[in-house]
Amino acid sequence: MKGIILSGGTATRLFPLTATTSKQLLPIYDRQMIFYPLNTLIRAGIRDILLIVAPEHSGQYLNLLGSVFKSRGVHIYFEVQKVPRGLAEAFILGAPFIGRDDVTMVLGDNIFEKDFSDEIRNFEKGGLIFAKKVPDPERYGVVKFDEDNNAVEIVEKPKEWISDYAIPGLYVFDNRAVEAAMTAKPSERGEIEITEIHNYYLKRGELKVSPFDGEWLDAGTFDTLMEAGRIVKEKEIYKNFDPMINDAIFEFNEELKAMAKKRLL
């Protein structure tokens, strides 16, 4: 299983904060946002992870993550996405990285309270998406599924009620996701939509749905960014990190402090 984190885009809703850095490098309580999707993958045992980033922020990601996990057996790779062309483009950009393996993709601004390790580790074939019950499904891509958790219908921001279950930014696919992305037709806005990948497996009767409880945070606005930090602190989500990540962050911080002291001498 390979892992992909999509962290490109310009995040204009967070200007001027994101005029100088990537949204996923902004802090959520005591660490940068990017560590939360990294935790989702690392806790599931994934050790090869591709970060897809915007060119203007690639150096910042490299400075932070270029070597922080190297001694711990986690390999971070980088791919620059010059122009965002939809979530599913990640499987095209990541095709050489994915190779013949399965892949779990998580969006860089999605924060979860739940540990998805069992679902990811036990994945065998087809596609697996997750579903969270929300009060305002018209704002999301939603999924309707049967009593056996087989996806029946997926609609992006439905005008008529389909389901109360929104699809968060965490997806597990077998190797055919690359083919699905490469053969998908761009939408009217010129993007390769993640719904195209979902429908590829749905049409084949191979798309499973895993409903979950717990917080799902999407820190894409000033209010949700602040709210995410508050919830992470109050619910102590920051304590759910893999010890490897905590150790890596601690060592990285100590190195920075030592370097800062040397500059002062």
CATH number at residue 235: 3.90.550.10
pLDDT bucket at 12, cuts 50 / 70 / 90: confident
Q: What is the mean pLDDT of residues 213-228?
A: 93
Residue 119 CA to chain centroid, in angstroms? 15
Q: What is the mean pLDDT of residues 142-148?
A: 97
160 in a domain, yes or no? no
135 in a domain, yes or no? no
Q: Report the pLDDT value the prediction gives residue 228, as an integer from 0 to 100.
A: 96
pLDDT bucket at 265, cuts 50 / 70 / 90: low
Q: Taking Cα atoms as reference points, which of 18, 30, 94 lies closest to residue 60?
A: 18
Quick check: 232 pLDDT over 90?
yes
64 in a domain, yes or no? yes
8-state DSSP, 244: H
39 in a domain, yes or no? yes
Counting Cα atoms < 13 Å in the Cβ hemisphere of 181 gives: 22
Quick check: 264 pLDDT over 80?
no
Q: Collapsing DSSP states into helix, strand and coil, what is residue 130? A: strand
pLDDT bucket at 188, cuts 50 / 70 / 90: confident
Let me know: does 44 contact 104? Beta carbons within 8 Å.
yes
User: Looking at the whole model, is its pTM more than 0.85?
Assistant: yes
198 in a domain, yes or no? yes
8-state DSSP, 83: S
Q: Taking Cα atoms as reference points, which of 205, 265, 200, 253 lies closest to residue 32?
A: 253
138 in a domain, yes or no? no
Report how many domains make up the chain.
1
Quick check: 10 pLDDT over 90?
no
Range of the domain at 238: 2-125+167-264
Q: What is the mean pLDDT of residues 204-229?
A: 95
Let me know: does 143 contact 167? Beta carbons within 8 Å.
yes
pLDDT bucket at 169, cuts 50 / 70 / 90: very high
Quick check: 174 pLDDT over 80?
yes
162 in a domain, yes or no? no
177 in a domain, yes or no? yes
Q: What is the mean pLDDT of residues 89-108?
A: 97
For the beta carbon of residue 151, count every other beta carbon within 10 angstroms. Answer: 23
8-state DSSP, 186: P
Sign of torsion, CA 86 165 177 58? positive
